A and B are shown apart, each in its own frame.
Chain A
Amino acid sequence: MTEVATFLFSAIRVSTPLVYAAIAAVITQQAGLLNMAVESMMLSAALAGVMISGATQSALLGVLGGVFFAVLIAMVIWYSAFIMKCDLYLVSISMNAGLVGGTVFVMYLATKQKANTIGYIMSKTVGKLDIPILKDIPFFGEILSGQNIMTYVAVIAVAVTWFLIYKTKLGLRIRSVGENPSAAESVGINPVKLYGISFALSGVMAGLGGVYMSMGLMSYFARDMVAGRGMIGVSAMNVANASPAGSALFAMLFGVSDTIANYMQIIGIQPQLIAAFPYAATIVLMAILAYVQHRRYQKYLAKKLSQSGFEI
């Protein structure tokens, strides 16, 4: 039983950044934009978090600084895509590729190291939280209590995002722009402005995820430490059709498969094959779900058509 609890505990630990990435992708997807740059936002936040908390010796300032830099990257992307009219995907791809080197460059300037900041920047980490009553419940206490504070923040973030998107005026506007930008514009909503807001919010979420990578999951920044997690978040969002809770759940699923992979490595299966597993599973899962949806839509169409007296 304890093994299962430990397994689930580490699964939650590993999937927290994926949840943040998925939420970040959800917010822009609701506005109709695919945010490919979650990866680069997370990476810059991870470095900024470590450097700022190392300089100020405060974990909170580190988190805020990391989030600030992620939002900054988001705004750069928004500005070049919608004001300077670059292709959004092209900007995102180049940001992802450029910031892998960019963060290493900044890290080198600060520490003369190119691999990681261990021993060079003494940064604070975000602490763990024991939840009073929950921690005494035998099985669930072991899993759910004592996680990093950022993990609990992630749960709140999912709820807040859900509330923001479905229950507020801003959320309605974001969704209407996502549905049909021209129609939204015709009733006086400025799509470009709303794209900016959704990108900034997405930056906040990605920033929190990035900060968790370097100040919660690990206690240092390492070269290219996000390593595709942002992309997994984006795929989780894709699979769950941009619903906040669903995306978070699918992100957790990928976290679980990652943890399984780690455990199987201990058993002695080739680590390379295992490492490929979560990514391959993502593609297959996306394909299957898309196929099911496609079929359902076809059936629905056929039904509608036969009802209205047409033959196919």
Chain B
Amino acid sequence: MNKVRKIESIFELARIILALAIAYGLSLLCLILVTEDPLEAVYMFAIGPFTSMRRFGQVVVKFIPYALCGVGMCFMYASNRFSMFGEGAYLMSGCFVAVVAFLLEPFNLPLLVMLPILLIVGGFFGGLIGFTPAALGAKLKLNELVTSTMLNYVCLYFSLWILKVYLADPDITFFASRLLPDNVRLPQILDRSTIHAGLFIAPIFIVIAVIIFFRTRLGFSIRICGSNRDFAKFSGINYYKSIIWAHTIGGVLVGIGACVDLLGIYDRYLWNEITNYGFYGLVSAVLARKNPIFAPLGAFLLAYMHTGASILNYTSEVPIEFVQIMQALLILLISAQTFLRKTKNKLIFKDSQDAIMKEGKTA
């Protein structure tokens, strides 16, 4: 039995790697086909993120929110009820973090006091956006996916309204808030790169989330509900309560990600479209196969690819949108249960037969 499990986990890994290779290879092929200087483009896309400290800093800076969103989306994905609260939660918490930062500006509190307050604000609004569709789904049987997508648009326009009415800086030509006060901005930890102290804040929450996921009753019931709904119900687990908790925790983590991201690299609040961070989180979660321990790894891969693409964007004319197709392809390949299944079944079959043969000989 143990050997079967070993084969299965090896195949799980092989599938992810193969899917990554296919998606990455196809996007490199895309690059070669559309550019006049394919070698340069491939170099910039593949190696570019590691060529300078500044560029690697971009990878890390992208990685921080992706990892938090990815861990958050793991909760949603593990509960097996889909809800796209990510984008709305990201925008809402970013917006309210900015509002609270400006509200508390006159008190001039030190960063160490401000930061927990803002993290709580960000987490609260993220959690609220995660909670709403899940609660509506539990109480009124509304589909979370539909409600949350609608809610995302509401959040987008609501945050734009707050930005315009309460935060907008009339002195600048673009649509953004005033400069965020100095006492909320996270310090940079490395010269000549944008890497900020969020790199130390994010792991704290990721570790807490992993402990909740694997080591508490709540995390266990979320996982049970996700893998077998009827079993969960019959063994006395409150199904809807677990789902609501899973989505709320997911929202809180996305909100914290937004807060850290905003305070780390932006000097003004200026998000004026759907940020897609929820989707990137979902991609990371899919790459990690619902396991929050590996979600940061998936997030790092994603951050690396996005940085490569954005370097390409300002060094050449290549449209970076092909990365989005690549992400869709990745999700398709990794989540496809039949991908490589035949080979796996053959191996398991052969292994079991060997075991039976051996037993026959000893008996």
- CB within 8 Å for A287 and B140 given contacts A108-B319, A276-B154: yes
Residue numbers in B under 8 Å from A238 (CB-CB): 142-143, 146
Residue numbers in B under 8 Å from A287 (CB-CB): 136, 140, 142
B145 touching A89 by the CB < 8 A rule?
yes
Give the distance in Å from the alpha carbon of A234 to the alpha carbon of B323 in the complex. Answer: 27
Nearest-neighbour CB distance to chain A for B10, whole angstroms, equals 20
Give the distance in Å from the alpha carbon of A94 to the alpha carbon of B329 in the complex. Answer: 8
Q: Mark interface residues in B142-155 (1 if CB within 8 Å of A CB, else 0).
A: 11011101110110
Give the distance in Å from the alpha carbon of A297 to the alpha carbon of B165 in the complex. Answer: 44
Q: A305 on the interface (CB 8 Å rule)?
A: no
Task: Kindly identify which residue among B150, B332, B337, B339 contacts A279, using a CB–CB cutoff of 8 Å.
Answer: B150
- CB within 8 Å for A36 and B145 given contacts A105-B325, A276-B158, A280-B154: yes
Q: A187 on the interface (CB 8 Å rule)?
A: no
Q: Which residue of A lies closest to B153 (CB)?
A: A279
B323 touching A286 by the CB < 8 A rule?
no
A109 touching B34 by the CB < 8 A rule?
yes
Task: Kindly identify which residue among B279, B317, B328, B339 contacts A84, using a CB–CB cutoff of 8 Å.
Answer: B339
Residue numbers in B under 8 Å from A87 (CB-CB): 82, 335
B151 touching A283 by the CB < 8 A rule?
yes
Give the distance in Å from the alpha carbon of A287 to the alpha carbon of B164 in the complex. Answer: 29
- CB within 8 Å for A34 and B136 given contacts A86-B332, A86-B335, A91-B331: no
Q: Which residue of A lies closest to B327 (CB)?
A: A98
Q: A149 on the interface (CB 8 Å rule)?
A: no
Q: A5 on the interface (CB 8 Å rule)?
A: no
Give the distance in Å from the alpha carbon of A279 to the alpha carbon of B160 in the complex. Answer: 15
Residue numbers in A under 8 Å from B146 (CB-CB): 34, 36, 231, 234-235, 238, 286
Give the distance in Å from the alpha carbon of A154 to the alpha carbon of B160 in the complex. Answer: 34
B140 touching A294 by the CB < 8 A rule?
yes
Q: Mark interface residues in A267-282 (1 if CB within 8 Å of B CB, else 0).
A: 0001011011001101
Q: Which residue of A lies closest to B334 (CB)?
A: A86
B336 touching A283 by the CB < 8 A rule?
no
B336 touching A84 by the CB < 8 A rule?
yes
Q: A180 on the interface (CB 8 Å rule)?
A: no
Give the distance in Å from the alpha carbon of A24 to the alpha carbon of B279 in the complex. Answer: 24
Task: Kindly identify which residue among A36, A85, A93, A286 contacts B337, using a CB–CB cutoff of 8 Å.
Answer: A85
Q: A26 on the interface (CB 8 Å rule)?
A: no
Q: A58 on the interface (CB 8 Å rule)?
A: no
- CB within 8 Å for A94 and B331 given contacts A85-B337, A234-B146, A280-B154: yes
Q: B141 on the interface (CB 8 Å rule)?
A: yes
- B interface secondary structure, majority: helix
Residue numbers in A under 8 Å from B321 (CB-CB): 101-102, 104-105, 108, 114
B319 touching A273 by the CB < 8 A rule?
no
Q: B324 on the interface (CB 8 Å rule)?
A: yes
Residue numbers in A under 8 Å from B84 (CB-CB): 93
Task: Kindly identify which residue among B141, B319, B332 contacts A290, using a CB–CB cutoff of 8 Å.
Answer: B141
- CB within 8 Å for A105 and B331 given contacts A83-B338, A272-B160: no
- CB within 8 Å for A93 and B82 given contacts A276-B161, A290-B141, A294-B140: yes
Q: Which residue of A lies closest to B322 (CB)?
A: A105
Q: A197 on the interface (CB 8 Å rule)?
A: no
A104 touching B157 by the CB < 8 A rule?
no
Task: Kindly identify which residue among A83, A101, A234 contacts B324, using a CB–CB cutoff of 8 Å.
Answer: A101
Q: B99 on the interface (CB 8 Å rule)?
A: no
Q: A90 on the interface (CB 8 Å rule)?
A: yes
Residue numbers in B under 8 Å from A270 (CB-CB): 161, 164-165
Q: A95 on the interface (CB 8 Å rule)?
A: yes
Nearest-neighbour CB distance to chain B for A8, whole angstroms, equals 25
- A interface secondary structure, majority: helix
Q: A127 on the interface (CB 8 Å rule)?
A: no
B325 touching A272 by the CB < 8 A rule?
no
A283 touching B335 by the CB < 8 A rule?
no
Give the distance in Å from the alpha carbon of A275 to the alpha carbon of B160 in the complex. Answer: 10
Residue numbers in B under 8 Å from A282 (CB-CB): 150
B153 touching A273 by the CB < 8 A rule?
no
Q: Which residues, 192 to 214 on B, are CB-close (under 8 Å) to A?
A: none
A97 touching B276 by the CB < 8 A rule?
yes
Q: Which residue of B lies closest to A85 (CB)?
A: B337
Residue numbers in B under 8 Å from A235 (CB-CB): 146, 150
Residue numbers in B under 8 Å from A228 (CB-CB): 149, 153
Give the distance in Å from the alpha carbon of A18 to the alpha carbon of B338 in the complex. Answer: 35
Q: A184 on the interface (CB 8 Å rule)?
A: no
Give the distance in Å from the alpha carbon of A286 to the alpha carbon of B133 in the complex. Answer: 12
Q: B101 on the interface (CB 8 Å rule)?
A: no
B327 touching A94 by the CB < 8 A rule?
yes
A90 touching B286 by the CB < 8 A rule?
yes
- CB within 8 Å for A86 and B336 given contacts A231-B149, A276-B153, A291-B140: yes
Q: Which residue of A lies closest to B160 (CB)?
A: A272
Q: Which residues, 100 to 137 on A, are CB-close (under 8 Å) to B?
A: 100-102, 104-105, 108-109, 112, 114
Task: Kindly identify which residue among A83, A97, A231, A275 contacts B328, using a CB–CB cutoff of 8 Å.
Answer: A97
Q: B282 on the interface (CB 8 Å rule)?
A: yes
Give chain B's interface residues, CB within 8 Å of chain A. Answer: 34, 82, 84, 136, 140-143, 145-147, 149-151, 153-154, 156-158, 160-161, 164-165, 276, 279, 282-283, 286, 317, 319, 321-325, 327-329, 331-332, 335-339
Q: Which 6 A-B pairs have the closest CB atoms?
A: A98-B328, A101-B324, A276-B157, A101-B321, A272-B161, A290-B140
- Give 14 A-B contacts (CB < 8 Å), ordered by A residue: A36-B145, A36-B146, A84-B339, A85-B336, A90-B331, A91-B335, A93-B279, A99-B325, A104-B321, A109-B319, A114-B319, A276-B158, A283-B151, A290-B140
20 extra interface residue pairs, beta carbon distance < 8 Å, beyond A89-B145, A98-B325:
A34-B146, A36-B146, A84-B339, A87-B82, A90-B82, A90-B282, A94-B331, A97-B276, A98-B327, A102-B324, A104-B321, A112-B317, A114-B321, A228-B153, A231-B150, A272-B158, A279-B153, A283-B150, A286-B142, A294-B141
